[in-house]
Amino acid sequence: DQQVKQNSPSLSVQEGRISILNCDYTNSMFDYFLWYKKYPAEGPTFLISISSIKDKNEDGRFTVFLNKSAKHLSLHIVPSQPGDSAVYFCAANKRHAGNMLTFGGGTRLMVKP
Amino acid sequence: NAGVTQTPKFQVLKTGQSMTLQCAQDMNHNSMYWYRQDPGMGLRLIYYSASEGTTDKGEVPNGYNVSRLNKREFSLRLESAAPSQTSVYFCASSENRVGYGYTFGSGTRLTVV
C-alpha cells in the first residue's frame, strides 16, 4: 500500500497561470516532505522541502503548503512557465529514519504556451 | 561536474543473465541509494547504504544485491535478470541528515527480454 500518493497522474496548465500539485500521505510518522522535479532522460532534482513544524515554505515561484491534520501537502507554482513542464514527485521522510525517503507516483505537469 | 555518475545508460539483457550497475559520487556524501522507477509507481527504494561499510534492504530488494565498495561507489547487481526487473534505475547520494535533498544520477534504462 502506497504511503505517499499523488492522485493526479497529469495536469495541464496555461502559461502564466497557477499550477497546483497535490500529495497525500497516510503515515503520521512522516515529519519532513520534499518535492522533486524530473525531466525526461534525467534524474530527479530537489526542488523545495518543508518540515512538519511549518505549514508553508516559499522559494521564488514555488510554495509548498502542509496540512498535517489532513495529511496533505501541495506545491504551487506561480506563474507557471513552459520550462516547468516535467514530472513532479512528492517525497516524505520518517522520523528517526535518517534521510530515507518514500516517494509518490508522480504528476506530469504540462504548461502550454 | 560534481555529481552522481551511473553506468551504463542503457542495457538490454536476456532472462537469466547477470549484470552490475555502477554508481559513483564525488560529493563526499555518506549515504547512497538505489531506486527503481516504474510507471505510476514512483521511485521505490531497492537498497541503501547509510555509510561506508553498511547496506540495508529497502522496499523492493528481491532479486538484487549491492556492494558499497568505498565512500564513492555503490553498485547494484542483478544475479539472474527477470522481465519484472525491466525498469529505470536511479542511484542517489545524500548526507544522512533529515531533509537533506538527494542528488540523483541520470539513470540506467534496463530492459530484460
Instruction: Give Cα separations from B79 to A49, A82, B63, B82 (angstroms).
Output: 37, 42, 7, 10
What type of residue sits at position A20? I
Distance from CA of B54 to the nearest CA of A (A): 14
All cell numbers assigned to B102: 538527494
With contacts defined as CB-CB under 8 Å, which chain A residues touch B101? 34, 36, 46, 49
Residue B1 pLDDT grade (very low, low, confident, very high; cuts 50, 70, 90):
low
Give strand pairing partners of A64.
Answer: A57, A75
**Pick from A98-102, B27-31, B66-70: least confident:** A98-102
Residues 47-86 on B with a CB inside 8 Å of A are 48, 50, 58-59
Residues shown for chain B? 113
In this prediction, residues B52-56 reach a mean pLDDT of 92
CA-to-CA distance for A54 and A91, rounded, in angstroms?
A: 16
**Lateral strand order in the sheet of A4-5:** A4-5, A19-25, A72-77, A62-67, A56-59
With contacts defined as CB-CB under 8 Å, which chain A residues touch B96? 98-99
Which comes out higher in pLDDT, residue B69 or B47? B47
CA-to-CA distance for A35 and A54, rounded, in angstroms?
A: 15
Q: What is the mean pLDDT of each run of 10 residues along chain A (113 residues)?
A: 90 98 95 95 94 95 97 98 97 81 95 96
Instruction: Give Cα separations from B45 to A14, A103, A104, A113 (angstroms).
Output: 34, 9, 12, 36
What is the tens place of the pLDDT at every residue in A84-99?
999 999 999 987 767 7
Q: Does residue B98 carry a pLDDT above 80?
A: no
Of the candidates A51, A91, A99, the beta carbon closest to that of B96 is on A99
With contacts defined as CB-CB under 8 Å, which chain A residues touch B107? 41-43
Of the candidates A6, A99, A102, the beta carbon closest to that of B31 is on A99
**Pick from B39-43, B66-70, B101-105: least confident:** B39-43
Of the candidates A31, A42, A89, the beta carbon closest to that of B42 is on A89
Is residue B112 helix, strand or coil? strand
Going by the DSSP 8-state scheme, the letter that residue B100 receives in this structure is P
Give strand pairing partners of B38.
Answer: B42
B99: left (phi over 0), alpha (psi -120 to 50) or beta: left
